[in-house]
Amino acid sequence: MENGRLIVITGPSGVGKGTLLRSLLKRHPELHLSISATTRSPRLNEVDGRNYYFVTRDAFQEMVDQSELLEWAEFAGNDYGTPRRPVEHSIQQGKWVVLEIELEGARQIRQTFPSALRIFVLPPSLETLESRLRGRGQDSEEAIARRLSRAKAEIDAANEFDVQVINDDLELALSKIESAVFAEQRVNSP
Ligand code: ADP
Ligand code: 5GP
């Protein structure tokens, strides 16, 4: 059986992780995106079971207590975590699984899955990050402020990651992520 693989994508909220991942998954259906659990309320266009499993704080705590999460962290007033079983099951089956998670979770994965490829997505500037967060038009002023204050600390940790990708031109950022993810395959191909 081929070895499965874990790929972690991290970067400040609003940097474009979701946008990049949508394109990446469309181009590479062999990649499987892990669906996280969160206590955050759904945004207007979000669907339970597709974007996240939206759960109550009690239900989230129960998952933590039962060790059902591979990693979890608090972010801007809500909890987020990766359900353990689907990820472990997919990797055992040889699949490539992508986690889109924040910094604290990525640090936990470094301990539990040291072989994971960890990619950090950077904004061209903090000003651009702020205008993307506002342009998305999905978060309250308070949520935007909390996300921006967390962004600075996250960006400072970018060097902990295997690969850093600046998301300025979307297409360029996407091809850098593709190169990182499929690097070994390309080396082996004729
Ligand atoms: P994240 O998932 O990291 O929170 P999103 O994917 O929701 O970020 O992107 C935040 C906003 O920035 C969205 O409105 C998206 O369309 C926009 N965006 C993403 N990447 C780029 C880019 N390279 N150039 C300009 N706008 C972008
Ligand atoms: P958002 O509320 O914008 O969807 O996500 C906020 C932050 O939580 C983002 O940085 C996102 O990557 C992160 N996040 C989403 N799912 C998880 C998860 O399962 N675990 C952790 N640690 N972070 C997550």
CA of 9 to the centre of ligand 2 (A): 10
Q: Per-residue confidence at 1, pLDDT binned at 50, 70, 90?
A: very low
**Whole-number pLDDT of residue 184:** 65
CA of 110 to the centre of ligand 1 (A): 26
CA 173 to ligand 1: nearest atom: 23
First to last CA, the chain: 23
Q: Per-residue confidence at 187, pLDDT binned at 50, 70, 90?
A: very low
Q: Per-residue confidence at 186, pLDDT binned at 50, 70, 90?
A: very low
The H-or-E segment that residue 10 falls in is: strand 5-10
Cβ atoms of 52 and 35 within 8 Å: the answer is yes
Distance separating alpha carbons of residues 105 and 36, to the nearest angstrom: 11
Distance separating alpha carbons of residues 176 and 88, to the nearest angstrom: 27
Per residue in 32-63, pLDDT (tens digit) is: 999 999 999 999 889 999 999 999 999 999 99
Strands of 34-139 (E only): list them.
Answer: 37-38, 53-54, 69-75, 78-83, 96-100, 117-122
Distance separating alpha carbons of residues 16 and 132, to the nearest angstrom: 8
Domains: count for the chain: 1
Cβ atoms of 161 and 10 within 8 Å: the answer is yes
**Whole-number pLDDT of residue 189:** 43
Q: Across all residues in the chain, what is the average pLDDT?
A: 94
From 13, 129, 132, the mutation candidate for ligand 1 (largest count of ligand atoms within 8 A of CB) is 132
Relative to the alpha carbon of 71, which ligand is closest? 2
Per residue in 124-157, pLDDT (tens digit) is: 999 999 999 999 888 899 999 999 999 999 999 9
- Please check the confidence at residue 188 and state whether its pLDDT lies above 90: no
CA of 109 to the centre of ligand 2 (A): 14
Q: What is the mean pLDDT of residues 177-181?
A: 96
82 pocket-lining for ligand 2 (C-beta < 6 Å):
yes
Q: What is the mean pLDDT of residues 107-119?
A: 96
pTM of the model: 0.94
Q: What is the mean pLDDT of residues 74-94?
A: 96
CA 167 to ligand 1: nearest atom: 23
11 phi-psi bin (left φ>0, alpha ψ -120 to 50, beta other): left
- Please check the confidence at residue 190 and state whether its pLDDT lies above 50: no
∠ CA 93-98-101, rounded to 5°: 135
**Whole-number pLDDT of residue 185:** 56
Torsion over CA: 19, 111, 83, 142 (sign):
negative
CA of 143 to the centre of ligand 2 (A): 13
Per the structure, the complete domain to which residue 75 belongs is given by 5-187
CA of 17 to the centre of ligand 1 (A): 7
CA 2 remoteness from chain centre: 24
Q: Write the CATH number for 64.
A: 3.40.50.300
The H-or-E segment that residue 131 falls in is: helix 126-136
